[in-house]
Amino acid sequence: MPKIVVLGAGAMGSALCTPLVAAGWETRLWGTWLDDHLLDACEQGLPHPRTNVPLAKGTLLYRSGQLEEALDGVDAVFLSVASQGVPKVTELALQGISQAKVLLVTSKGFCPDDQGRIELLPQAIRRIAAEHNATLPPIVGVAGPCKANEVAEGKPTATIYGSLDRSVAEDMARRISTDVYCIEPTGDEVGVEVCAPMKNVYAISLGVADGLEEATGFPHHNLKAATFAQAVREMSLLSTVLGADPVTAFGLAGVGDLEVTGLSGRNKVYGLRIGRGEPAVDALDAMVAAEQTVEGVPAAGLAKTLVEQLGDGLPAKLPLLQAVLRVISGEQPPLDIISAAVMPPKLA
C-alpha cells in the first residue's frame, strides 16, 4: 500500500484524507502546533471542527511532535498548511520530503524571499530546499474549485494538478483520482500557482457585491458579474506575464476556483462584511476571532509588490487588484471603488 502524509490538519488537509483513503493510500494526517484541538475532536470521533465532516476512517493521526514518525517511509507528501506556514513547515519536514517521490502543495499564496522578492510557493519551496542543501522530489501544485467540506463528504469535485513535468501530474492524477474526486493534470505549474492566490484576492471583490445587496436589499448581480469577468482577465494577464498558458485562468484553476470561492469562501465573506458596511479592519478582526483565515488579504499585498517588481506598466493593467487593495485598506465607498475598476470606460 503506498503511503502519504498530509501536513496540516485544517479544513483542507483533513478533507483530502477522504479521496486519499478511497484511492487506497495509507493516509497519515499530521497536525501543526496549532491543530491540537482539531485532532482532539477527530480522535473523539467527532466531526472535524472546520468541515463538520468526520475524518475518513483509517486515517492515522500524528501530533506536531511526531513529524519524523509521520514522514517515515512515505511515498508522497501533501503540504496543506496556510501559506504563511509554508516556509516553516517545509523547513521542519525537509528531510522527510526529500526522501519522498513527490511533494503535492495545496497551500495557496505568494512568498517573499529575504530580499523581499515575491515568489510563487513552489519557487519558495525549491529555494528553501537549496538553502539547506536538500534535494527535492518533483512538486505538484494542487488547485481548482475544491471546497474542503465537499471533498471531505465525497461530493463530486474537479481539481487541477500542475507540475513542471506534466507526466508527474498525470501519474498523481492516476493514483489519487476516485469516482468523485477527479483530477485534471497540466504542465502549467505557473498558471495554477498564480490563479490559486489571486482568486482569493478577487473573491473579496465578489463578496463586496453580495454585501451591497444585504445592505440595500437590492441585488448587485450585474456588478458582481462584471467584477468576475475583470478578475478572470487579470488572472490571465498576470499569469501570462509570469510565463503561464493564458488558457489556465479560464479553466478549473481560474474561473472554476473563483466561482466556488465567490459563492461561499472566507474571502468572499470578508468582502461581504465590507460591502454591507463594516469597516475593513473590524471585518478582518471578526474573521480572525472566528479562526477564519482570510488569505486574500496578505495575498493582495504580496501581489501588489509582485506586479510592481514585474514593472512594464503592469500595475495599471490590473485595476481590480488596485481596487481590492484600496477596499481592504478601508477606503470608502467600496461600490464606487470596485465599479470604477470593472466597468468599461465611457467612450469619448
Ligand X SMILES: NC(=O)c1ccc[n+]([C@@H]2O[C@H](COP(=O)([O-])OP(=O)(O)OC[C@H]3O[C@@H](n4cnc5c(N)ncnc54)[C@H](O)[C@@H]3O)[C@@H](O)[C@H]2O)c1
Q: Which residues bind ligand X (CB under 6 A)?
A: 8-13, 32, 34-35, 50, 80-85, 88-89, 106-109, 146-148, 293, 295
Residue closer to ligand X, measured from CB, 148 or 318: 148
Task: Give the other-Cβ count within 10 Å of 166's Cβ.
Answer: 15
Q: Closest distance between ligand X and the C-beta of residue 336, in Å?
A: 30
Q: 128 φ, ψ to 5°?
A: -60, -40
Q: Closest distance between ligand X and the C-beta of residue 161, in Å?
A: 12
Q: Closest distance between ligand X and the C-beta of residue 226, in Å?
A: 25
Q: How far apart are CA 205 and CA 291, in angstroms?
A: 21
Residue 201 identity: V
Sign of CA pseudo-dihedral 166, 168, 174, 177? negative
Task: Give the other-Cβ count within 10 Å of 155's Cβ.
Answer: 12
Contact at 8 Å (CB) between 323 and 341? yes
Q: Does 333 sit behind a cis peptide bond, omega within 30 degrees of 0 on the bond before it?
A: yes
Q: Name the closest residue to ligand X (Cβ).
A: 10
> Which 3 state secondary structure label does DSSP give 205?
helix
Residue closer to ligand X, measured from CB, 147 or 220: 147
Residue 345 identity: P
Residue closer to ligand X, measured from CB, 265 or 334: 265
Q: Closest distance between ligand X and the C-beta of residue 32, in Å?
A: 4
Q: Closest distance between ligand X and the C-beta of residue 75, in Å?
A: 21
Q: Closest distance between ligand X and the C-beta of residue 291, in Å?
A: 7
Residue closer to ligand X, measured from CB, 32 or 163: 32
Q: How far apart are CA 189 and CA 331, in angstroms?
A: 35
Residue closer to ligand X, measured from CB, 141 or 334: 141
Residue closer to ligand X, measured from CB, 150 or 234: 150
Chain length of the chain: 348
